[in-house]
């Protein structure tokens, strides 16, 4: 099939490369000429394990193309996947300006091709509020003309940053919202190579497909906020959230995924999609009170953890040097959007601290975001030199078994604020560290 991805961000690039890997002819379209030039050079603009190798292989085979030419990208495509960003505005509402712009561009090309063209499938791959896909259909039809044939569909993505290739190639499920049987058959054929592992492809109505994405992400966000709330109760009453989690997750009805205490969720999906559910509820007169609580708990979790730093050092951090290990919102990605580390760094700097940070892959993005707020270094031990404490914000593998003797030598005092519960309390006590974590009593804190 001839497929066009509109947007070469995280979703568009991964989707396009993976479709090309099964023999489809894929064109990735973007308005950013510099990004397209970067892609043509074989350079991946995002950090995603395995993606660069697949890009190079499919580009060399002639199955993968990059362009800024909208007319050429749309003209011969059997299906056009809209994969542009849908950021939240200052009120938490989903901003659809990129969706609308892409829709208008598609409509103009369809209009120029005329009514005798083979009907194209316009696929909403971006995460959009329920009802948006059908609104896009009406927008395109109004602009292109009622006699122009095309169909609309919604095909939400369920990709985890850091494991997106595996998620796409071996999905838990594929969800497709369609208007008719023909579109359903199109998706069955397109996704057949990816569901031969026995996992299902669900063909449903468009509104339900849009809602599946939000319901899924909102539920996972709820699990994260729930375990953090339980962790806070554990701290208040002297229980150990690690032991509580083990006993709780042994219940097969509960499971153990997304139930790790920490600094709360970040990234581009959970915060945005939780806010979108709140917005949809307000708009429909059906308040999403649970979603609001999930969001509030998540935001407070960062404040609560920072209060441990202030409590240890006093009312402010003037004259203190604080090291930060981990800046990306999760390991195996360079994505720093809504990252808890950024919140902690900014709070520390605002309280007078000198901040030095390190991340295995997100340093470049962090420098652009933080500017002079923090020094970002390229070696994890360089961040520790002369620091009064280290704050662990992301559970990268290289932080899990460090040389503690070297850490003690580099730090002014052996103080660790562990936002990911990487270390055993007994070990920290034996090594003489002052150690704060989440949902567990502090060690050697006086």
Q: Which residues are catalytic?
A: 269
8 Å CB contact between 120 and 80 = yes
Whole-angstrom distance, CA of residue 404 vs CA of residue 387? 15
The DSSP secondary-structure symbol of 118 reads P
DSSP 268: S
Conformational region of residue 92, where left means phi above 0, alpha means psi within -120 to 50, and beta covers everything else: left
- CA distances, 202 to each of 91, 151, 168 (Å): 33, 18, 15
| Closest alpha carbon to 85 in 263, 272, 237, 216 | 272
| DSSP structural state of residue 94 | B
Q: Tell me how many degrees the CA angle 104-106-110 measures, rounded to the nearest 5.
A: 115
Which SS3 state, helix, strand or coil, does residue 272 take?
helix
| Other beta carbons less than 10 A from residue 108's beta carbon | 16
Q: How far is CA 233 from CA 193, 236, 259, 340, in A?
A: 47, 5, 15, 21
Residue 79 host element (H or E): strand 79-82
Q: Are 304 and 264 in contact (CB under 8 A)?
A: no
Q: Provide the total of helices (H) and of strands (E) in the chain, helices listed first.
A: 17, 14
Question: Which spans in 80-205 are helix H?
Answer: 97-113, 132-144, 164-169, 181-191
Q: Which of 344, 357, 342, 351 is nearest to 320 (CA)?
A: 351
In sequence order, the 6+-apart residues with CB closer than 8 A to the CB of 210 are 124, 128, 129, 130, 131, 132, 133, 154, 156, 177
How far is 269 from 163, CA to CA, in rounded Å? 15
Angle, CA 36 vertex, CA 35 and CA 42 arms, to 5°: 95
């Amino acid at each position: 099939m001839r497929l066009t991805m509109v947007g070469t961000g995280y979703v568009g690039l991964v989707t396009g490369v993976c479709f090309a890997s099964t023999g489809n002819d894929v064109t990735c379209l973007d308005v950013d000429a510099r990004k397209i030039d970067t892609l043509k050079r074989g350079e991946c603009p995002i950090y995603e394990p395995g993606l660069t190798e697949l890009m190079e292989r499919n580009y060399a085979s002639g199955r993968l193309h990059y362009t800024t030419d909208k007319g050429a990208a749309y003209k011969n495509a059997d299906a056009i996947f809209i994969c542009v960003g849908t950021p939240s505005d200052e009120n938490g509402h989903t901003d659809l300006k990129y969706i609308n712009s892409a829709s208008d561009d598609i409509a103009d090309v369809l209009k120029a091709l005329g009514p005798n063209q083979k009907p194209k499938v316009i696929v909403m791959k971006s995460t959009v509020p329920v009802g948006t896909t059908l609104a896009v259909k009406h927008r395109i039809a109004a602009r292109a003309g009622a006699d122009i044939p095309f169909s609309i569909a919604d095909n939400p993505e369920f990709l985890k940053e850091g494991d997106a290739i595996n998620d796409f190639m071996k999905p838990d499920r594929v969800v497709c919202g369609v208007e008719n049987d023909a579109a359903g058959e199109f998706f069955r054929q397109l996704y057949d190579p990816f569901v031969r592992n026995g996992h299902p492809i669900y063909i449903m109505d468009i509104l339900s497909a849009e809602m599946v994405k939000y319901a899924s992400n909102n539920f996972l966000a709820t699990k994260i906020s729930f375990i953090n709330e339980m962790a806070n109760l554990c701290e208040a009453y002297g229980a150990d959230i690690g032991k509580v989690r083990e006993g709780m997750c042994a219940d097969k009805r509960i499971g153990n995924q997304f139930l790790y205490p920490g600094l709360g969720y970040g990234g581009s999906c959970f915060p945005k999609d939780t806010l979108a559910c709140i917005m949809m509820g307000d708009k429909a007169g059906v308040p999403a009170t649970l979603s609001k609580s999930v969001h509030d708990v998540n935001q407070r979790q960062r404040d609560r953890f920072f209060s441990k730093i202030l409590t240890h050092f006093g009312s402010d951090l003037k004259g203190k040097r604080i090291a930060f290990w981990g800046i990306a919102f999760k390991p195996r990605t360079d994505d720093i959007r809504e990252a808890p580390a950024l919140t902690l760094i900014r709070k520390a700097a605002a309280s007078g601290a000198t901040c030095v940070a390190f991340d295995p892959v997100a340093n470049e993005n962090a420098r652009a975001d933080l500017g002079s707020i923090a020094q970002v270094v390229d070696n994890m031990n360089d961040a520790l030199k002369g620091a009064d404490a280290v704050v662990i914000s992301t559970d990268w593998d290289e932080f899990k078994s460090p040389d503690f003797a070297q850490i003690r030598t580099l730090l002014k005092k052996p103080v660790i604020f562990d936002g990911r519960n990487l270390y055993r309390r007994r070990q920290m006590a034996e090594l003489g560290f002052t150690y704060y974590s989440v949902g567990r009593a502090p060690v050697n804190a006086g």
